Amino acid sequence: MTRFDIRKRDGLARTGVFSTHNISVKFPTALEIESLFPYLDVLEGTNLPLCALSALVEQYPPLNRGQPLSIHPRLDNPAQSGDCVMAANWHTALSNPRNYVDWLIGLKDKTPIDTAWYAPASALPSNIHILCYSGFDLFDFRAVDLKTAQRRFCTPEGDFPAEALDKGICTCTGCRHKDLKMHNRQALLREIALVTLFIEGSQLRDLVESRCRLDAAQVAVMRHLDSQYTFMERCLPVARSSIMRANSGESIQRAEVKRFAERVITRHLSPQTDVAVLLPCSAKKPYSLSRSHRKFQQAIAGRAHELIVTSPLGLVPRELECVYPAGHYDVPVTGYWDAEECAVIAGILARYFDHHKYRRIIAHLDGGALRVARMAADMCGISLEYSCLEHPTHDSALNALDSALAGEGRFKDNRLRGMVSYQFNFDLDIKGITIRGHFPELFYSKKNVQVFSIDTGTGLLRPTFDGWNLIPAGYRVYIDDFIPEGDVLVPGVVTADPGIREGDEVLVIGARAYATGRAALPAEEMLRSRRGVAVRVRKIKRL
DSSP 276-315: EEEEE--SSSSGGGSHHHHHHHHHHTTSSEEEEEETTTEE
The reported pLDDT for the residue numbered 241 is 80
The reported pLDDT for the residue numbered 216 is 96
CA 104 to chain centre: 18
Cα separation of the two ends of the chain: 40
Residue 156: CB partners within 8 Å, gap ≥ 6? 125, 126, 129, 187, 191, 211
Q: Using alpha carbons, list the distances in angstroms from residue 65 to 44, 69, 81, 170, 326.
A: 9, 8, 16, 43, 50
The answer to whether 402 touches 408, Cβ cutoff 8 Å, is no
Q: DSSP secondary structure string, 167-185?
A: TTS--SHHHHTT-HHHHHH
d(CA 350, CA 495): 38
Half-sphere exposure of 225 (CA within 13 A, CB side): 30
pLDDT in tens, the chain (543 residues): 788 999 999 999 999 999 988 899 999 999 999 989 988 877 887 888 899 888 888 888 888 778 899 999 998 888 888 999 999 999 999 999 999 999 999 999 999 889 999 999 999 999 999 999 999 999 999 999 999 999 999 999 999 999 999 999 999 999 999 999 999 999 999 999 999 999 999 999 999 999 999 999 999 999 999 999 999 999 999 998 889 999 888 999 999 999 999 999 999 998 889 999 999 999 999 999 999 999 999 999 999 999 999 999 999 999 999 999 999 999 988 778 889 999 999 999 999 999 999 999 999 999 999 999 999 999 999 999 999 888 999 999 999 999 999 999 998 777 899 999 999 999 999 999 999 998 888 999 999 999 999 998 899 999 999 999 999 999 999 999 999 989 999 999 999 999 999 999 999 999 999 999 999 999 999 998 888 899 999 999 998
Q: Which CATH number is associated with domain 244-404?
A: 3.40.50.10630
Q: Does domain 3-227 have CATH number 3.20.20.105?
A: yes
The reported pLDDT for the residue numbered 124 is 98
Provide the residue type at 320 as one letter.
L
Task: Report pTM.
Answer: 0.93
What sign does the dihedral 132-135-138-142 (CA atoms) show?
negative
Q: Does domain 419-542 have CATH number 2.30.130.10?
A: yes
- Strand-by-strand arrangement of the 433-438 sheet: 433-438, 441-446, 449-454, 461-463
Provide the residue type at 524 as one letter.
E
The reported pLDDT for the residue numbered 73 is 92
What residue ranges do the domains of the chain occupy?
3-227, 244-404, 419-542
Q: DSSP secondary structure string, 87-124?
A: -TTHHHHTT-HHHHHHHHHHHHHTS-SS-EEE-TT---
d(CA 171, CA 533): 42
The reported pLDDT for the residue numbered 76 is 87
The reported pLDDT for the residue numbered 438 is 87
Residue 146: CB partners within 8 Å, gap ≥ 6? 121
Question: CA geometry: angle at 507 spanning 504 and 510, to 5°?
Answer: 140
The reported pLDDT for the residue numbered 291 is 96
3-state secondary structure of 7: strand
- State phi, psi for 509 to the nearest 5 degrees: -120, 125
Least Cα distance to 519 among 135, 237, 112 occurs for 237
Q: Would you give the DSSP letter of residue 232?
A: H
The answer to whether 67 touches 57, Cβ cutoff 8 Å, is no
What sign does the dihedral 528-531-532-535 (CA atoms) show?
positive
The reported pLDDT for the residue numbered 132 is 98
The reported pLDDT for the residue numbered 25 is 95
